[in-house]
Structure 1
Amino acid sequence: MHIFNSAQLLKIIYQFKGVVDVICEACDRLNWKCPSKIQQEAIPVALQGKDIIGLAETGSGKTGAFAIPILQSLLEIPQRLFALVLTPTRELAFQIAEQFEALGSSIGVKVACIVGGIDMVTQVHLLGNKPHIII
């Protein structure tokens, strides 16, 4: 009988959903012990290239549910200006950008968070760096 440590178990669980090793490792670094309900439902569908609409409570892992498939697709087809994520509030935009940066740090993902109330020149500079993900 083989006993798995938590990192190995997490990797197995996420891989079962079709997630590649480097993103599984990022989930482990974020202390995500296993996919949340919304992630279990959304990730396999999104990895097939299908659109998803998900409703879940605050703190349920919704950002991971769409960020993980986006990052995995970016690994498969690397290019700048890969995804645009729209959100209704500045605070949520910053939270989503933070999650993308944390999940994508080991693969060199560049994220630009563009919101109102921030110096336009600064934001133009962020876009000029041709990020992979724009929030």
Structure 2
Amino acid sequence: MAAEEEKTMTFKSLGLCDQLVEAVDELQWKSPTPIQLQVIPHALQGKDLIAIAQTGSGKTGAFALPILQALLDSSQAFFALVLSPTRELAIQIAEQFDALASGFGAKSVVLVGQVDMVQQSHILAKRPHIIVATPGRLLDHLSRTKGFSLGTLKYLVLDEADRLLDDELTRHG
């Protein structure tokens, strides 16, 4: 896409619904970033994607917006899972989902270590739409939280997949 075309693209022209266009306006996102321009149209078509971009480039918006748009069309519990290598990043991702979904009530949960598992289990029992988790804590809940499974999952995002895989390879050598 030519630089001139990129400047004229809007979130609306990428195919996002009015509710999400309003949400990005409220967050004062002026125009889509390059990663959002490349990812959002394909993600809205339901395509599987691998995208690489630097920190601060708008990656979270690139995957969160299409997930939220699909959720608006088909609201169901345990709709999307985002795996993150760190608890800090998981919390930031969930905050972004919450900010974008504030106008229509999509519920998310953060599953990370150093937070009480029982408290997290109670939130899971309320059947949130979006789960943002670190791999270890997700595995804890899958093995210990009664009634929790990922059988209805429609979207899976591996944020910073290279770090997730490095961490797993290091742990299991």
Same fold (TM over 0.5): yes
What's the secondary structure of 2:89's corresponding residue?
helix
- Structure 1 counterpart of 2:22: 25
**Per-residue Cα deviation, 1:50-72 (whole angstroms, up to 9, x for no partner):** 01111111111000000000000
Moved more, 63-72 or 12-21: 12-21
Length, aligned pairs only: 124
Determine the C-alpha separation between the residues in 1 that align with 2:124 and 2:52.
30
Determine the C-alpha separation between the residues in 1 that align with 2:103 and 2:77.
16
2:79 to 65, 77, 82: 82
Determine the C-alpha separation between the residues in 2 that align with 1:20 and 1:78.
15
What's the secondary structure of 1:106's corresponding residue?
coil
Question: Is there any run of 5+ residues in structure 2 with no aligned partner, and where?
Answer: 1-8, 133-173
Question: Is there any run of 5+ residues in structure 1 with no aligned partner, and where?
Answer: 1-11
Determine the C-alpha separation between the residues in 1 that align with 2:88 and 2:40.
24
Determine the C-alpha separation between the residues in 1 that align with 2:58 and 2:45.
19
* Map 1:94-113 → 2, pairs under 5 A: 94-113=91-110
- Structure 2 counterpart of 1:49: 46
- Structure 2 counterpart of 1:130: 127
RMSD (CA atoms): 0.9
What's the secondary structure of 1:84's corresponding residue?
strand
Which one has a larger percent helix, Structure 1 or Structure 2? 1
Determine the C-alpha separation between the residues in 2 that align with 1:76 and 1:105.
16
2:55 maps to a residue whose letter is: T
Q: Which has the larger radius of gyration?
A: 2
- Structure 2 counterpart of 1:60: 57
List 4+ stretches of structure 1 deviating above 2 A. none
TM-score by length of 2: 0.70
- Structure 1 counterpart of 2:68: 71
